[in-house]
Each structure stands twice: as C-alpha cells, then as structure tokens.
Amino acid sequence: MHVVASHPFAGQQPGTSGLRKKVTVFQQPHYLENFIQAVFTAVPALVGATLVVGGDGRFFNLQATQTIIKMAAANGVAKVIVGAGGLLSTPAASALIRQRHAAGGLILSASHNPGGADGDFGVKFNSANGGPAPAAVTDAIYAASLEIDSYRTVASADLELDKLGSQQIAAMQVEVVDPVADYAELMASLFDFAAIARLLAKPDFKFVFDAMHAVTGPYAEEIFTRRLGLPSQQLLNCQPQLDFGGGHPDPNLAHAGDLIAALAGVGEFALAAASDGDGDRNMVLASELFINPCDSIALLAANAHCVPAYREGLAGVARSMPTSRALDRVAAKLQLPCYETPTGWKYFGSLLDAGKITLCGEESFGSGSDHIREKDGLWAVLFWLNIIAVRGLSPRQLLAEHWTEYGRDFFSRHDYEGLPSDDARSLLADLHQPSQPLVGRRWGALTLLQLESFTYTDPVDNSRADKQGLIFTFEDDSRAVLRLSGTGTSGATLRLYFDRYSSDSAQYWLAPQQALAATIAAISELLQLEQRFGRHHPDVIT
Ligand code: G6P
Ligand code: ZN
C-alpha cells in the first residue's frame, strides 16, 4: 500500500448530484484521489464490504475507474463490482448495489452535461440503499476533503475491465460484470414485455429511441431489439462515445434533434423517447406533442394499474417542489399520500425506503419507482409503452383523457445560465429579506399573495433542509419558483419555474408560454432580471 501526501482542494462540496467539475479540474494531480479518499474516510462501512463502480462512458471514465479500484484495494474494501468497460448506467448501478448488498457505489457521470476532454466529469457516491447519499453523508465527505493530507492506493497494473469474471488486486476481489444483463432482467420483471412486444410489432405504431451516444445505447439494444423485437434502425445513436458525438446528452427539445426528425411524417400512434448521459432521465414525445415531465409522472401514476408491478396499487407518490401539482390531483383522486420534497433525487430515498411512496418524479426529466433508488430513463419509456399497449390509445389521446379528468397544470421552466455567482446569490438573499414588502402588491396584471422560502422536514428521519427555493404564489393560484441550480459547473444558473392550473377545456391545448404569460410577466417585473443581469430572455426554456 502506498500513502501519497496531498493537500486539500477548495470546492469539493457535492452539489445536487455529486461532485461535478470540468474534466480539466478532475485531471489535476491528486484531485480525484482526494475526493475518493474523502469518501472512504467519511464512509467507514465500506471497509470489508462490496463497492459498485461504473460510469456513463464519458472522457476520463476509464482512467477514473482504474484509480478508484486501486484506492478501494488500499482502503480495505473486500470486493469491487464493476461494469465491463467501466460502464454502468446510473439506474443499473443503483439496481446492482441493491441486488448485491453492496455498502455503496461510485457512479462516474456528469449526467446530461457535455463530455469530452473539454467537457464535464462527475463522481457521485450512492449509499447501501442504492440511492444518492443523503446530505449528512455528503457533508461528511466534504468535511473530510478539507482535512486531507494523504490518500491511499496500491501499486498495481491496470485491471482488465473488458474481461468478465473475477480478478484480484492486493487482497481485494474485482468482479467485472455485464452492465446490462441484470438491469434488463429487472425491467422484464416489472413490465408486461409480451404486450409491449405485440405493440412494437403493430404496423401502425412507430417507436423510436435516441440514446444520444450515451450509456443507454447497449441497454436499449438488449431491451428493445433483442428482447422486444424492435427493428434496430428504430434505435438512434446507440454507440456510447467519449464526447457523446459532440452533443449535449440532454433529452429535451433543444438537444434531441435526431428524434424530432425521426418523427416527421409519422402519424399520431407513435412514441419517441430519449435518455441522458447516464440513463436516469427521460423525455417522451409523440408527433407534434411534447409531454412535459410533470404531466408524464401524473399520467404514469393514474395508469399504474396497467403495469404488472404496480397492479396492486401504489403506497403513495412524491414530486419535487418546483414540479407542477398535476401529480397531486391524481393522488387526491386515488386517495394516496403525496409528498413535496426539495429538488434532488436523494430526498425521495427515505420515503421509498420506508415504503411511503411507490412512484416519484421531477420536472427535470426524471421519474422512477421503488424498484431502485434513482430515477430511471428506460423504466419511464417502458412504462409509457406498457400503458399504450394495454390502453390502445395514442399519447395524445391519453393526455387528452388525463386533462379531461383532472384539468391541466401548465408548466414551464426558464433557465438563465452563466450568471456571476455572487450576483445570483445576492438576488436570492435580497428576496429572503426584501427591503420593502413584495406581498400584496400588483406585479403586471397579478397580485402576489404569498412569498415563501421552501423548508423541508423529512417525515421519516426528521432531517431538515431549508432555503430550497422561493415560491411566489399569485392571486390566480399560479406559482413561480426561483432557485439556483446545484448541478452546473460554470457560474450560476438561475432556474425559474412556472405553473398554473386550468379546468377550462377550451384552454387545454394552449402553448404553455401563452397560458403562463401573466405569471411570467409578473415575475419579470418583480425580479428585474434585465436590470440586474442584462438578460432579456432565458437561455433555455423547457
Ligand atoms: C439531478 C438530480 C435531480 C435534480 C436535477 C436538477 O439530475 O438527480 O434530482 O432534479 O439534478 O438539478 P439542478 O440543481 O441543476 O436544478
Ligand atoms: Zn442523468
């Protein structure tokens, strides 16, 4: 064992989803090693236990995997389970941690952020339940990173990560596993694959999936083509690449151009879907129909009886606070508890572990269930296919039916990227203590009824998270939510979320920007973003 002297780096504090930085930051000598050593210091349960390691295949994934395995051997880990080629999608890693009773996992990904030598990299520690480590653990990792004076590793040749089976490094066993097999089995155990295969074989139904040159390619080939019989030309961009083919592996309307093109001229009985860099996000589309993630999770919950795994009913549901309240309406009808959590999948973990919820979802293109402790892109796509197969309706018909039953919650998110961090933080601070009252005043055409800073108390372990976003509620019950992103790597990204409910069927097919125009205008007058930041328009609208 080697003990290598080192010194702390500033800023190794995990964000919404692990430590995410530019590749060039991670490539600094000792930078990755320090953070990994901080994990071993903060999580003593890893000694003598099993650790799962894998990532989304982006630039630096392989080198980091080799580094981590050697450090695990030097830190007393009994066994590392690693996906062949260093690959594991985030949901597959979560499943593997649970199936193999590992003490945790290190997932190498910067999710939907661009990759390549100039792109982003990230490391996320997941706990024994398979989910993102809770704040108490990430705080301990950060604290350890600030005190570090050395890290441990072993001198050894690189592992053969393409060879399935067991290898030995010092006293530690390394098992290289097929990254896809167990996950595909898990999906087959949840959904009605026979019904989905029949749907995919119908000449009048078209399904296209875009893996965006990211990790879900091999998973999609196994599940959709080999198990469900989909012609391989209906899978796009399935070869994982170090730089995701130069694109953003981000499934939204701005970045999934290939998918939108594949839908051209296709009829209404169709579904197109994409997943992100590490496979936990999903976007579903039909021809000329973008299905907002807030509507998607609500519709999945309302139709969960179509899926074998959820046929017996749901224990409860949850959504993150900025996500629209469409899910709450389904929960009320089904008489289910509905929880509102801060942004970040880690907050669903204790509710899932305690059996309080079965399904959960977020506006940020994530949905999932108690089958693992991460959101799951392919799971969501299979869920949609299973519903369409059983109901025999097109996505448009399903949404129309849903809105007729529950009304529509219009939703949109506006992102302002690359803002000076200090200025963005001081905007939030000013709003927490405004110099003059904002509530009760008219902004644009709307009076502001309430301004609240979201605080969450976990109903299972009573842990508290405060300042999780500002909620502006207007007289028409529309909401605007303001928070800073915790996943960016340069400057600050300000996120503004808008939602408004309507039960007027004449409005259901309005464009969200139009339906939300009054709330958007009100908040723009209130926040004065133009004066503060010189920004006239958001950089991204979802
Ligand atoms: C990651 C987390 C999600 C979260 C999203 C948004 O994807 O897994 O749970 O909703 O980041 O994060 P941000 O802080 O950038 O809005
Ligand atoms: Zn992701």
Dihedral of CA atoms 110, 113, 117, 118 in degrees, nearest 10, equals: -130
Task: Give the class (CATH, top level) of 2-179.
Answer: alpha beta
How far does the centroid of ligand 2 lie from the alpha carbon of residue 278, in Å? 5
Ligand with the closest atom to the CA of 91: 2
Is the distance from the beta carbon of residue 486 to the nearest atom of ligand 1 less than 6 Å? yes
Kind of pairing between the strands at 104-108 and 50-55: parallel
- Half-sphere exposure in the Cβ direction for 309 (13 Å, CA): 22
Q: What are the tokens at 262? A: 């594949």
**CA 69 – CA 82 distance, rounded (Å):** 9
Given 17, 94, 111, 275, the catalytic residue = 111
The strand order across the sheet containing 19-22 reads 19-22, 120-127, 104-108, 50-55, 79-87, 172-177, 165-169
Query: Dihedrals φ, ψ of 347, to 5°?
Result: -75, -15
Report the phi/psi class of residue 182: left, alpha or beta, with left for phi > 0 and alpha for psi in -120 to 50: alpha
The pLDDT of residue 69 is 98
- The answer to whether 209 and 381 are in contact (CB under 8 A) is yes
Residue 105: per-residue pLDDT: 98
Ligand 1 contact, 386 CB (< 6 A): no
Q: Using a 6 Å cutoff on CB, does residue 415 contact ligand 1?
A: no
> Could you name the CATH architecture of 183-406?
3-Layer(aba) Sandwich (3.40)
Q: Provide the 8-state DSSP code for 84.
A: E
Give start-end residues of each CATH 3.30.310.50 domain in the chain. Answer: 408-541
Question: How many Å is the Cα radius of gyration of the chain?
Answer: 23
DSSP-assigned letter for residue 10 = T
pLDDT at 344: 92
DSSP annotation string for 87-111: E--HHHHHHHHHHTT-SEEEEE--T
Residue 37, ligand 1, Cβ within 6 A: no
How far lies 101's CA from each of 81, 96, 154, 484, in Å? Answer: 11, 8, 25, 35
Pure H helices in 407-447: 421-432
Which residue's CA is the closest to the ligand 1 atom numbered 3? 344
Query: Hey, what amino acid is at 242?
Result: L
* Backbone angles phi and psi of 414, in degrees to 5: -115, 125
478 is catalytic: no
| Torsion-angle region of 407 (φ positive above 0: left; ψ -120 to 50: alpha; else: beta) | left
Sequential pLDDT tens for the chain (542 residues): 899 999 999 999 998 779 999 999 999 999 999 999 999 999 999 999 999 999 999 999 999 999 999 999 999 999 999 999 999 999 999 999 999 999 999 999 999 899 999 999 999 999 999 999 988 999 999 999 999 999 999 999 999 999 999 999 999 999 999 999 999 999 999 999 999 999 999 999 999 999 999 999 999 999 999 999 999 999 999 999 999 998 889 888 877 778 888 888 888 899 999 999 999 999 999 888 889 999 999 999 999 999 999 999 999 999 999 999 999 999 999 999 999 999 999 899 999 999 999 999 999 999 999 999 999 999 999 999 999 999 999 999 999 999 999 999 999 999 999 998 898 999 999 889 888 889 999 999 999 999 999 999 999 999 999 999 999 999 999 999 999 998 776 789 999 999 999 999 999 999 999 999 999 999 999 998 888 888 889 988 98
> Which segments of the chain belong to CATH 3.40.120.10?
2-179, 183-406
CA distance 247 to 213: 8
Candidates 275, 336, 348; CA nearest to 302 is 336
364 pocket-lining for ligand 1 (C-beta < 6 Å): yes
For residues 244 and 213, the answer to whether their CB atoms sit within 8 Å is: yes
Asked whether 111 lines ligand 1 (CB < 6 A), one says: yes
3-state secondary structure at position 414: strand
Q: What amino acid is encoded at 64 in this protein?
A: A
Pocket test for ligand 1, best of 282, 468, 487 (most atoms within 8 A of CB): 487
Task: Give dist(CA 90, CA 104) in Å, integer.
Answer: 13
Show the 3-state SS of 169-238: ECCEEEEEECCCHHHHHHHHHHCCHHHHHHHHHCCCCEEEEECCCCCHHHHHHHHHHHHCCCCHHHEECC
Buried b (16+ CB within 10 A) or exposed e, 348-371: bbbbbbeebbbbbbbbbbbbbbbb
pTM across the whole model: 0.94
CATH pick for 408-541 out of 3.30.310.50, 3.90.1170.50, 3.30.70.141, 2.40.30.10? 3.30.310.50
How many Cα atoms sit within 13 Å of 180 on the Cβ side? 14
Amino acid letter for position 327: L
Q: How far apart are CA 64 and CA 183, in angstroms?
A: 23
**Nearest ligand, CA 120:** 2
Ligand 1, residue 132: give the atom nearest the CA: 8
DSSP class of residue 160 equals -
What's the 182 CA to ligand 2 centre distance in angstroms?
Answer: 20
Residue whose Cα lies nearest atom 2 of ligand 1: it is: 344
Strands laid side by side in the 366-369 sheet: 338-341, 317-320, 359-362, 366-369
- d(C-alpha 161, C-alpha 179), whole Å: 11
Nearest atom in ligand 1 to the alpha carbon of residue 343 is 10
